[in-house]
Every structure is written in C-alpha cells, then in structure tokens.
C-alpha cells in the first residue's frame, strides 16, 4: 500500500537534509504511527506521502504510484486531516462539507450521516465560527473521509479533544481500519499511538530509530517483573517480582496472602520511555 525506500529530502535552500534515507512499508488496513518530536521530519515525511513535496530522492510508492508522477486522481483515493482544522468560518458545517464534497468525482458519503456519526448531527447548520476546537476536529475528520479514501493521513487526530470525543475519534479510526483503509497517523501523543497503531516508527533527526508494534516494543524494552504496592500497617510498601515462575514464587504468594495489595503492575516500558531511551530526547 505504501512502500518507501531510501527516502531523502532537503528543503530548497537548506544546507542540510531533513530526511536521511527512510525505509518502511505499510500494508493494507494497517494503522501506522509516525512518532517524534517537533522538527524530527515526521511532517516532512507526511507532506511527501500526500504529494505536496515532490523533490525527494529515493522511491515513494503509494497505491502503486510513484509520488513524483501522480495526477490529481491520486487525491480521489487518499484523505488528509491536517492538525489545524480550517474551514470557511462564515459558512455552515454543511456548506463546508458540500464544498469539499463537490471537488471529488468518486462516490462520496452522505455528509449528514457522517456528521451524525461524529456527534455533530445537531450542528449541521451552525456556522464553523461557532464550533469549539473539538467540534472542528471532528468536522475535519468528516472532510478527510468524505470520499471513502483507501489511505487516510491524519495529523494529531486527537489533539484538542476531550476524553469522550478522543475515544469517539479512536473508534472511528479503528472502524476505518476494519473497512480496509490504511491509516497513517502523525503524532507525539504516545497514548493515542499505543491504543491505535499496529506499528509505530520513531523518527528523530530525519531517521527512523525504531519500528515495530507498540506491544512488542513495550515488552522487549521493559522489565519482565511485576511491581506490587501493599499496605504494611500505616506504611505503603512496594516490591518487585520476576514474572517468570511467578505462580510458584513463595515470597510473592506470601505477600499477596498476608498484606492488603493496593496496586499490581507488570513493568513493561511505556512508549514515551522507549522514545526517550532510544533518542535521548523528550517528546515536546
């Protein structure tokens, strides 16, 4: 679906390259996350994949087309949701969607039905200037999937959303995946990536430092132990036990039988920790 080999890119007039030979493959129906701090090159990579930047070196194929040679038809097959959900502020929600809908020649979704699905059914006739950031983000998502794209590019899709709407957005993205849509998410929100992505790539200084499923990364880079917090009289105490053979670990069994346990967590790494360990940088 997306095949990238030796991708390099330098902005015109820039002394050094922004991307230094990226290689990755994204399959049909996969949700792939590009994670990295600001300025790492993830937005540049996305701009190349959506055909906005063309002067790259290497090979970038999406839906079987080399992106240097795409025609406007390419945009009938991909959907893009930028981080900042901009619309014609004086127009209503429906007028905005209808405008963008009319730019496609492929069959499109019924905007009213889409709006219902993202919880904007009552806002159809609201002017966009009246919407909150969260509502605009949901409208932005509707615009990106209006034409039933085969590949969907989303930049910070949960940014500005409250937990309920962030959940709704994640469910919609998972629904798109279930329908066979390939989704590429660019984000620095680790939790969203962990919940949504089949695989993630950490990009730093224009290079991919790690690429794998969040689960594999977290297990591989974490410690195979369980940490138990328990109440010992007035004191809150904690102990760690190896996961291997924990069912027969006498000390562990004695502790959970003897003291009231307050929390018990396996110690796999978090994506954020993996990122910091790998790159020596924080996700800001």
> Closest Cα to residue 79, out of 163, 172, 208, 203?
172
Taking the C-alpha atoms of residue 174 and residue 129, their distance in angstroms, rounded to an integer, is 29
Give 60 or 204: the residue with its C-beta nearer to another protein. 60
Contact between 143 and another protein by CB under 8 A: the answer reads: yes
Contact between 216 and another protein by CB under 8 A: the answer reads: no
- End-to-end, the C-alpha distance of the chain in Å comes to 30
Q: List the interface residues with another protein, window 44-73 (CB under 8 A).
A: 50-52, 72-73
* Residue selected from 23, 28, 66, 88 as contacting another protein according to rule CB under 8 A: 88
Contact 222, 268 (CB under 8 A): yes
Contact between 126 and another protein by CB under 8 A: the answer reads: no
Taking the CB of residue 268, how many other CB atoms lie within 10 A of it? 19
Contact between 82 and another protein by CB under 8 A: the answer reads: yes
Contact between 109 and another protein by CB under 8 A: the answer reads: no
With CB under 8 A, what is the number of residues at the site for another protein? Answer: 26
* Residue selected from 35, 48, 62, 80 as contacting another protein according to rule CB under 8 A: 80
> Closest Cα to residue 43, out of 138, 156, 151?
156
Contact between 162 and another protein by CB under 8 A: the answer reads: no
x/- letters, 7..46, toward another protein (CB under 8 A): -----x----------------------------------
Give 103 or 261: the residue with its C-beta nearer to another protein. 103
Taking the C-alpha atoms of residue 284 and residue 279, their distance in angstroms, rounded to an integer, is 13
Of 34-42, 54-62, 74-82, 254-262, which segment contacts another protein by CB under 8 A?
74-82
Of 1-9, 86-94, 170-178, 249-257, which segment contacts another protein by CB under 8 A?
86-94
Contact between 105 and another protein by CB under 8 A: the answer reads: yes
User: How far apart are CB 72 and another protein at their closest, in Å?
Assistant: 5
Give 105 or 130: the residue with its C-beta nearer to another protein. 105
Give 105 or 216: the residue with its C-beta nearer to another protein. 105
Contact between 275 and another protein by CB under 8 A: the answer reads: no
Residues binding another protein (CB under 8 A): 12, 50-52, 72-73, 75-76, 78, 80, 82, 84, 86-91, 95, 99-100, 102-105, 143
């Amino acid at each position: 679906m997306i095949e990238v080999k030796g991708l390099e890119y330098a902005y015109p007039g820039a002394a050094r390259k922004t991307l230094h030979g990226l290689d990755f493959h994204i399959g049909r129906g996969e949700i792939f996350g590009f994670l990295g701090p600001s300025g790492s090159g993830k937005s540049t990579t996305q701009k190349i994949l959506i055909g906005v930047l063309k002067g790259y070196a290497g090979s970038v194929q999406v839906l079987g087309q080399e992106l240097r040679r795409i025609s406007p038809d390419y945009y009938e097959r991909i959907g893009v949701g930028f981080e900042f959900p901009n619309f014609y502020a004086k127009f209503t929600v429906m007028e905005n969607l209808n405008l963008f809908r009319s730019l496609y020649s492929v069959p499109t979704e019924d905007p009213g039905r889409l709006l219902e699905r993202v919880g904007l059914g009552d806002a159809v006739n609201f002017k966009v200037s009246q919407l909150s950031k969260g509502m605009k983000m949901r409208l932005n998502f509707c615009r990106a999937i209006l034409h039933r794209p085969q590949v969907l590019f989303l930049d910070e899709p949960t940014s500005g959303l409250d937990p309920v709407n962030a959940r709704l957005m994640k469910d919609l993205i998972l629904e798109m995946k279930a329908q066979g849509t390939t989704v590429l998410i660019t984000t620095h929100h680790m939790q969203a990536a962990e919940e949504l992505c089949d695989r993630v790539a950490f990009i730093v200084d224009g290079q991919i430092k790690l690429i794998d499923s969040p689960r594999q990364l977290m297990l591989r880079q974490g410690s195979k132990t369980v940490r138990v917090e328990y109440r010992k009289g007035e004191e809150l105490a904690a102990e760690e036990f190896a996961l291997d053979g924990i069912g027969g670990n006498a000390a562990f069994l004695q502790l959970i039988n003897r003291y009231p346990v307050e929390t018990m967590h396996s110690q796999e790494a978090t994506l954020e920790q993996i990122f910091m360990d790998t790159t020596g940088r924080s996700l800001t």
